[in-house]
Chains A and B, each alone.
Chain A
Amino acid sequence: MSEGRRSADVIVIGGGIHGCSTALHCAMRGLSVILIEKDHAGRHASGVNAGGVRQLARHVAEIPLSNTSMALWHRIEDLVDDDCGFTSDGQVLVAEDEEDLGNCRARVDDLTLRGFHHEELIDAAELRRLVPAVSDACPGGVVSRRDGAAIPLRATQAFKRKAQSLGADIREGVRVTRVARDGGNWRVETDQGAFLAPRIVNAAGAWADRIAADLAEPVPLEVIAPMLMITARMPAFIKPVVILRKRKLSFKQFENGTVLIGGGYLGRAIRDENRTVLDWGKLATNAKTVWDLFPIMRGAPILRAWAGIEARMPDDLPVFGKSAKHEGVYHQFGFSAHGFQLGPGAGAVMAEIIATGSSNVPIDGLGIARFATETESAVHSAH
């Protein structure tokens, strides 16, 4: 490893889309940054995900962050000098029956009351116009028209390269082994020596619980391995990304004709070996859903299936914001299989919080304190 700097204003742990985005936005704010990644940037969840850039069907606690992100996605090339393969043909939640459609209606009404208008209820005719190949039985759904998809590894690397070009020191192949207080600084120990900074960001994805535990902020993080499959090139037949609510499905055809099939079925993660094992029984169920919904897909050859290693929190919401215990510690992990879209915006908001102490984008409900155990929070409030 080149010697180079050993201290900076901010040390980011983890080179996923979140770590890289935060590093970029910190650098844009004039902060000196070291980013430490044990493998290479985008090696894990951020490089192998479905690339779905989706505001549709998000938990309300995430919507402000998601909105901030979407604005950045729509000018991604200006931000990182690479279009990241981003296309915006919308995402459609297909209702499979009337009951499903009723739930869609309730959801859109609820969002309207809260002042969010990105989700739009559609009837059978509009659904057929947007997704002509979908089975006739579906009565409608919801569309989020500014949604789309991007190429995950390419996007993550673009954030990394841009951060680097603005002076961020990106250390790949360096593993953080421990973090500890060191006077006014945080001491980030690695397999290649220690680094110091007054502020650190824990963006270590599926490994973030270990950093949090070092900081005496243990979290109930579950390591999951969501699976995806991709087909050979098919004739173009669908533009938007399609998702379902009742059955698990996320479905997307790329411009080159290949079709990505996912929806969150889980394989097995062996995180200490960077390895996953697929569950073909579940992928078969995934394939069956496509068989039912898109008859055109029945003969499609499946070329590859894979899984990525991701962190899931018990409430399916990320841990985002300042540490509940320590000055200068920030958490940004636990994106529960929907954090790719949030990357650009979360980095911007995190850098703002680091640089200014706060942000106008509400992040209520995402703090790490929600996982403090009862005794811990009792001790905490007694202080």
Chain B
Amino acid sequence: MITIETIGQVAEHYDIAVVGAGPAGLAAAARAAELGLSVLLADENPAPGGQIYRAITTTPVTPRAVLGEDYWKGGALAERLKPTTTAYAPGCTVWSVAPDEAGGVELGLSLAGQARLISAGQVILATGAQERPFPIPGWTLPGVMTAGAAQIALKASGLVPSGRTVIAGCGPLLYLLAGQLAAAGANIVAVLDTTPRRNWLTAIAALPDFLRSPYLAKGLKLMAAARGKLPFKTGVTALAAEGSGTLTGVMVTRGGATETIPCDALLLHQGVIPGINLANAAGCAQHFDTVQHCWTPTVDDWFASSIPGIAIAGDGAGIGGAESAALRGEIAALDAARRLGRISEAQRNEKAAPTQAELARSLRGRRFLDLLYRPAPQFLAPPADETIVCRCEEVTAGQIRDTARRLGVTGPNQMKAFLRCGMGPCQGRLCGPTVVEVIAQERGVSAEETGYYRLRPPVKPVTLAELAALPPTDAAVKAVVR
């Protein structure tokens, strides 16, 4: 592995560029390099691991029990890269991916304030998942953050929220995180579970598969352990953060009764969804996954997207968890090598067969979790008009409903022209799913029919100065490299 420190060290062309150094990206890069391909692995974080194994090589949290045994598995993935020739670029933002005229893919990169355009024969997007937005009244108050943000602070810097902490929402990660934070010494005064009770009715049919699933059943144990130790409250149907200027408590509705729990930190989590911004901006086709209830890039059995040269591996192409992400990365790398003509189709199939079998096994039981933890409609589309949906442009649920009704706005792209939601720096990452849901509910149609934002590069902001300093021609690009 060669660690890239300046933009000038990035080569002009790679056989494969992998975006994201989580389990999917690490596995894809390692496998591709082991096949003898030249590989760039670019990731905006300072160290490998992605979200799940964040800071695996650098975390200050040393007692293994705090983050759980599964976390430490990430170490092996990072180790596997070391003996290969992979060019690993930490702190490197990929802000654009697009097919080029030569039949390859062009990537826009920024590293330490300098931008560069390079090309690759194949690109594997392994940008992973993001937390599903969970807007409630008051969620923009200081003291409220997402559970994922709290987990990042814990893994990367060993920080736990100070004071009385409440965790609220739904999904397996909620329990995992509650357990991790408690083990790290956080004062958790309540875990508020919003899982709708009736979800059990639909999920139960998928329970047998879940129980046979080797990885997920273990999660169930974790969950049970956390529930035994922590102050759980289930059946939560409404939440509101309270406080003026800063968070003072959370108002909770359960079984028709409302109470306020005083707290200093509120961590929100409503499951994870694929991070689709880069794939969407590259023009990859996407569809609405009705089981996972989220927009998902459309990929084939080898994780190739609709755009030639671009594959999407790991949670970015549908939530499957860390184990499956790494397996999907392997498979995508094998197919990329086949597309580049470096291995035959037969070789690909043969090499992929065991991984595919393992993948099928790792995904068994997924459906149960998806159905059980499907968020309740009132958390997908906040009923309270004053709830802010788009944080960048401060657009409320009420404004979106009103615009959909009065101006007959039928989709999120049209909504932009009136309210600018989705046009701020996050380009809809934080509001997109909610805006779709609010419009869909208001119009009485499905999220699928409502559609999603057409996103635009740069997917992460790049400065005018960086852009102005881009080497403009091929010759100039070459001059910079030499």
A interface with B by C-beta (< 8 Å) = 40, 42, 47, 151-154, 157, 161, 231-232, 256, 268, 273, 275, 277-278, 280-281, 283-285, 287-288, 290-291, 297-306
| Chain B positions 455 through 482: 1 when the CB is less than 8 Å from some CB of chain A, otherwise 0 | 0111001111101111011000000000
> Contact between A161 and B457 (Cβ–Cβ < 8 Å)?
no
Q: Does B163 contact A (CB under 8 A)?
A: no
Nearest chain B CB to A260 CB, angstrom units: 12
- By a CB distance below 8 angstroms, the chain B residues around A288 are 468, 472
CB <8 Å contact, A303 and B461: yes
Taken residue by residue from 426 to 447, chain B's Cβ proximity to chain A (1 for < 8 Å, 0 otherwise) reads as 0100000000000000000000
Q: In the bound complex, how far is the Cα of B459 from the Cα of A302, in angstroms?
A: 10
**Minimum Cβ distance to chain B for residue A16 (Å):** 14
Partner of B468, one of A151, A154, A277, A287: A287
B98 close to A277 (CB less than 8 A)? yes
The answer to the question of B425 belonging to the interface, with a C-beta cut-off of 8 Å to chain A, is: yes
- A42 contact set on B, CB distance < 8 A: 414, 417
Cβ of A301 and Cβ of B470 under 8 Å apart?
no
Contacts of A302 in B (CB 8 A): 458, 461-464, 467
Q: Chain B's nearest CB lies how many Å from the CB of A11?
A: 22
Choose from B413, B424, B457 the contact partner of A305 (Cβ within 8 Å): B457
A303 to B409, CA, bound (A): 24
Q: How far is the CA of A308 from the CA of B96 in the complex (A)?
A: 17
List 5 A-B pairs, minimum CB-CB distance, nearest first.
A153-B417, A301-B461, A284-B470, A287-B467, A287-B468
Cβ contact within 8 Å between B464 and A153: no
Which residues of A lie under 8 Å from residue B275 when comparing CB positions? none
Within B406-421, which residues are at the interface with A (CB < 8 Å)?
Answer: 407-411, 413-414, 416-418, 420
5 contacts between A and B (CB under 8 A): A154-B418, A280-B96, A300-B463, A303-B425, A304-B427
User: Are B414 and A291 touching (Cβ within 8 A)?
Assistant: no
CB pair B464 A232 closer than 8 Å: no
Q: Which of A153, A280, A304 contacts B106, CB < 8 Å?
A: A280
| B414 engages A40 (CB within 8 Å) | yes
Whether the pair B467, A161 counts as a contact (CB closer than 8 A) is no
Which chain B residues lie closer than 8 Å to A290 at the CB level?
464, 468
Interface of B is mostly: loop
For A154, list chain B residues within 8 Å (CB): 417-418
B interface residues (Cβ-Cβ under 8 A, vs A): 96, 98-99, 101, 106, 108, 117, 283, 407-411, 413-414, 416-418, 420, 423-425, 427, 456-458, 461-465, 467-470, 472-473
- For residue B337, give the distance in angstroms from its CB to the closest CB of chain A: 25
User: In the complex, A154 Cα to B98 Cα: how many Å?
Assistant: 29
Contacts of A291 in B (CB 8 A): 464-465, 468
By the criterion CB–CB under 8 Å, are A153 and B416 in contact? yes
Nearest-Cβ distance from residue B216 to partner chain A, whole angstroms: 39
Q: Kindly state the separation between the CA atoms of A288 and B115 in the bound complex, as whole angstroms.
A: 14
Please tell me if the beta carbons of A280 and B470 are within 8 angstroms of each other in the complex: yes
- Which residue in chain B gives the minimum CB-CB distance to A306? B456
Known A-B contacts A268-B101, A281-B473, A287-B468; the reply to A304 vs B423 at CB < 8 A is yes
With a cutoff of 8 Å between Cβ atoms, the chain B residues found around residue A287 in the complex are 464, 467-468, 470
Known: A287-B464, A298-B463, A304-B458. 7 other contacts (CB 8 A): A231-B464, A232-B425, A278-B96, A291-B465, A291-B468, A299-B465, A304-B456
Contact A157 B407 (CB under 8 A): yes
Q: Which residue in A283, A284, A297, A303 is a CB contact (below 8 Å) of B427? A: A303
Q: How far is the CA of A303 from the CA of B468 in the complex (A)?
A: 15
Q: Are A283 and B425 in contact (CB under 8 A)?
A: no
Write the nearest CB–CB distance from A229 to chain B, whole angstroms. 8
Residues of A within 8 A of B425 (CB): 232, 301, 303
Q: Evaluate contact between A283 and B117: CB separation under 8 angstroms.
A: no
Distance in Å: Cβ of B48 to nearest Cβ of chain A = 27
* Contact, CB under 8 Å: B414 / A153: yes
CB distance from A143 to the nearest CB of B (A): 26
By a CB distance below 8 angstroms, the chain B residues around A40 are 410-411, 414
Contacts of A157 in B (CB 8 A): 407, 409, 414, 417
A305 and B456 contact, Cβ closer than 8 Å, known pairs A153-B414, A281-B117: yes
**Residues of chain A within 8 A of B456, CB atoms compared:** 304-306
Residues of A within 8 A of B417 (CB): 42, 47, 151-154, 157
Q: Which residues of A contact B414 (CB under 8 A)?
A: 40, 42, 153, 157
B452 → A minimal CB distance (Å):
14
Give which listed residue, A47, A152, A281, A299, contacts B472 with CB less than 8 A.
Answer: A281
Contact across chains for B470 and A305 when beta carbons are under 8 A apart: no
Q: Bound state CA distance, A280 and B469, in angstroms?
A: 11
* B285 (CB) vs chain A CBs: closest residue: A273
Nearest CB of A to B223, in Å: 40
A305 to B98, CA, bound (A): 13
A280 engages B117 (CB within 8 Å)? yes
With the chains together, A290 CA to B464 CA distance in Å? 8
CB distance from B470 to the nearest CB of A (A): 4
Q: A289 → chain B, closest Cβ, in Å?
A: 9
Residue of B nearest to A158 (CB): B407
Question: Quick one: which of A42, A232, A298, A305 has the most chain B CB within 10 A?
Answer: A305
Please measure, in the bound complex, the distance between the C-alpha atom of A299 and the C-alpha atom of B465, giving whole angstroms: 6
Verify B468–A284 contact, CB threshold 8 A.
Answer: yes
Bound: A152/B413 CA distance, A = 13
Q: Which residue of the partner chain B has the closest CB to A282? A: B472
Quote the shortest CB–CB distance from A53 to chain B (angstroms): 16
Which residues on A sit within 8 Å (CB–CB) of B410? 40
Which of A47, A268, A273, A280 makes the CB contact (< 8 A) with B108? A280
Q: Within the assembled complex, what's the spacing in Å between the Cα atoms of A290 and B465?
A: 10
> With A and B bound together, what is the CA distance between A306 and B458 in angstroms?
9
- What residue of chain B has the Cβ atom nearest to residue A270's Cβ? B283
The answer to whether B101 touches A298, judged by C-beta atoms less than 8 angstroms apart, is no
How many Å lie between the Cα of A278 and that of B417 in the bound state? 22
Residue with the greatest number of chain A CB neighbours at <10 A, chosen from B407, B464, B465: B464
User: In the assembly, what is the distance between CA of A153 and CA of B98, in Å?
Assistant: 25
A279 to chain B, nearest CB (A): 9
- Residues of chain B within 8 A of A285, CB atoms compared: 472
CA A42 to CA B458, docked complex, whole Å? 23
| Chain B, residue nearest A288 (CB) | B468
A285 to B418, CA, bound (A): 31
- CA of A143 to CA of B423 in the docked complex: distance in angstroms? 31
| Cross-interface CB contact of B465 among A281, A283, A298, A305, cutoff 8 Å | A298
C-alpha gap A40/B414 in the complex (Å): 9
Does B283 lie within 8 Å of A301, measured CB to CB?
Answer: no
Most buried by B among A40, A47, A302: A302
Contact A161 B458 (CB under 8 A): no
Q: Which residues of A contact B464 (CB under 8 A)?
A: 231, 287, 290-291, 297-302
Closest to B408 in A: A161
Q: How far is the CA of A306 from the CA of B283 in the complex (A)?
A: 12
Q: How far is the CB of B480 from chain A (nearest CB, A)?
A: 13
Q: Which residues of B contact A273 (CB under 8 A)?
A: 283
CA distance A286 to B417 in the complex (A): 25
